[in-house]
Structure 1
Amino acid sequence: MHFHVTILGTGSATPTLHRHPTAQWVMHDHDPFLVDCGEGTQVQLLRYRMRISKLKHIFISHLHGDHYYGLPGLLTSMSLGQRTEPLYLYGPRGLDEILTTHFRYSDTRLTYPLHFQETNPVAPEVLVESEHLTISSFPLRHRIACTGFLFAENPRYRNLIREKVPADASHEELHALKLGQDVRDAEGNIRFAADDFTLPPAPSRRYAFCSDTLYLPELAEHLEGVDLLYHEATFGEELRERALRTYHSTAAQAAQLASDAGAKELLLGHFSSRYKDILPLLDEAQKIFPSTLLAEEGRSFPIGYRTDSLADNLLDL
């Protein structure tokens, strides 16, 4: 099951010719999710051939323009494309009012239902629950209300070993084995033992998106063991005081959080326009947390790994 994030924007508030404002396309299996929607996001979606017709959920972290100014245009383009499927939008209080005002004065009438859910800026909250994935928000600390988002796979079934699947097992019996239950006959004797025909499920994977925020050491417990942590790194340590004044983080602080949380990988983004070369930010972070990567526009980053040799021997029913 595919799980990855494609970076659409890596810049912060001030525009540059080389970086777009924050936006990310998270893909789980065949389901896409858009996280933040800075100016120009729909152009980036076209550039990297994302199928917005499949998009059902959009998440906005906060109401600074570089994180949502692209949203009215994207919503309007969906309507111009005669979308009829409902769209679900999650964001801070006031976002619905902004959009309503915009659509009223532009006489925009959407061709599809738009459902808005206000995010909670002071406590974690589940936003989406599906068969395979749970998406929740959690509070960050910025100059205005701001949340991060956690994409967490639900616990998986055990994996049937392809070459050992009993030819005479029913679908119900195979399902019981995937649940880790032994299959018994009418007399109560074990017919198929789950340990003989299955392997433990692959670990559930998690992706955390930490938008604009002060360094929050207390997030480490909430994000413990996350497979990929995206964290803003607007400044380097030489501008630590500016980061504090503007409620942002440095690359070193992002790395410290990743280390404390036991994250498997760290992805840095939201770079200040003052940095023409962002490699020093990478170096700063890697001194604390070696498994650090730089967000690159158009690049997809896998969330968690699964070996091909294991997958080839398993049967997913």
Structure 2
Amino acid sequence: MGKIEKIFITHTHGDHIFGLIPLLASCMNGAGGVTSESGDDPRATVEQSIPPLEIYGPLGTRAYVRSGLAYTHTLLARPYIVHELRLPTDPPDQDYTTLPPPVAESPNGRNIASVDGVWPEIYKDAVVSVSAAPIQHSVPCVGYVVQEATVPGKIDPRNYIPDLKRTKTPMSVMSKLQQGESVTLNDGTVLQGPPRRPGRKIVILGDTYDPSPIIPLAGGADLLVHEATNAHLPGLDSNTKDIDTYESVQERAMSRGHSTPQMAGKFAKSIGAKRLILNHFSARYPGDESKGSLQIMDAIGELAAQEFGKAVICARDFTSVDIGFEE
């Protein structure tokens, strides 16, 4: 946990944010303080030389962290900072709390206004950038797009080795060519490495019944993670009512701010996603290793695949997926 540098919150419903305070206390040397005759707590010191752990989330995230730390009397030994993604209807500066910031909270937290309905590149370094957009749920909710920077193109050594051997150029220049750079040989020949290619893109949605506002950022995603809370599974789900239909289940899901597998599959297809992972399944589905549970997950994945046109993965705890490049 000590390696965590950034945390991105989709929305402030409890099942998506209750774990944040325990996480901060665990990975930032949180403590409850000790007694002292002077009244000063020797454990209330923050190591300011360490870069702050950054938290991104909608309005209310800063207030939740601040109150959670205050009312549990939790002291953090490392700094943190909260950046809030503000909607046009949100106050530009005010927070949801009058509590003073704890010692560990950096005063440089940004209130990030949207640009043309989205939050482009709220974070960026040499490896990835993260953008965000509001998505429709029962409360303000955010979806995130993680975009890898351009990567070296695929190189075919056979296109370069004859010239390198002819001019007795060290093979070590292949590393420069691999990065797309040009190399001038001793006879004046210029070899140009392959052009860099776009990096991979991951789109991670929070709870939603309509993620369409994120479409401008999500096109061509290598991987989409989309919720599929409710599904119509007659014959598999013992909770299915006789009056239930695909349409009634979808209507009920949407009324609660959620999606069905078919909705997820349609959205994945609409943005040209290459792969789709479903998550956030209703607690009515046991999610264990029993035969019936596995059949339910297979059926949910198949419902989404019928709309998506490709195989779909139903996530489990600690699911790991390799995202390669298309050749």
TM-score, L = length of structure 2: 0.68
2:22 to 67, 70, 73: 73
1:117 Cα deviation (Å)? 0.8
Aligned to 2:313: 293
Structure-2 change in CA distance of 1:155 and 1:91 (3 Å): same
1:221 Cα deviation (Å)? 4.6
Structure-2 change in CA distance of 1:100 and 1:81 (3 Å): closer
Q: Write the mapping of 1:80-229 to structure 2, written as runs, cut at 5 A.
A: 80=29, 85=50, 86-121=52-87, 122-158=117-153, 164=160, 166=164, 168=169, 177-178=177-178, 180-184=180-184, 190-194=188-192, 198-201=193-196, 203-217=198-212, 219-229=214-224
Is 1:259 equivalent to 2:269 in the alignment? Answer: yes
Structure-2 change in CA distance of 1:158 and 1:199 (3 Å): same
Structure-2 change in CA distance of 1:112 and 1:68 (3 Å): same
1:216 Cα deviation (Å)? 3.6
Q: Give the SS at the match of 1:119.
A: strand
Question: C-alpha distance in 1, partners of 2:148/2:220?
Answer: 13
Is 1:58 equivalent to 2:7 in the alignment? Answer: yes
Question: C-alpha distance in 2, partners of 1:91/1:217?
Answer: 19
Q: Which amino acid aligns with 1:193?
A: L
Question: C-alpha distance in 1, partners of 2:180/2:319?
Answer: 38
Q: Give the SS at the match of 1:118.
A: strand
Q: How many residues align?
A: 250
Could you tell me which runs of 5 or more consecutive residues in structure 1 were left unpaired when the two chains were aligned. 1-51, 308-317
1:72 Cα deviation (Å)? 0.5
Aligned to 2:105: none
Note the aligned Cα RMSD (angstroms): 2.9
Question: C-alpha distance in 2, partners of 1:218/1:93?
Answer: 18
Structure-2 change in CA distance of 1:128 and 1:169 (3 Å): farther
Deviations 1:8-66 (A, max 9, x none): xxxxxxxxxxxxxxxxxxxxxxxxxxxxxxxxxxxxxxxxxxxx111111110000001
Overall identity of the aligned pairs, in %: 29
1:101 Cα deviation (Å)? 1.5
Aligned to 1:280: 299
**Greater share of strand residues, 1 or 2?**
1
Q: Give the SS at the match of 1:193.
A: strand
Q: Identify the structure with bigger relative contact order (alpha carbons < 8 Å, sequence gap 6+).
A: 1
Question: C-alpha distance in 2, partners of 1:100/1:81?
Answer: 14
Larger radius of gyration: 2
1:271 to 278, 281, 305: 281
8 Å CA contact retained: 2:153, 2:178: yes
Question: C-alpha distance in 2, partners of 1:287/1:161?
Answer: 38
1:78 Cα deviation (Å)? 1.9
TM-score, L = length of structure 1: 0.69
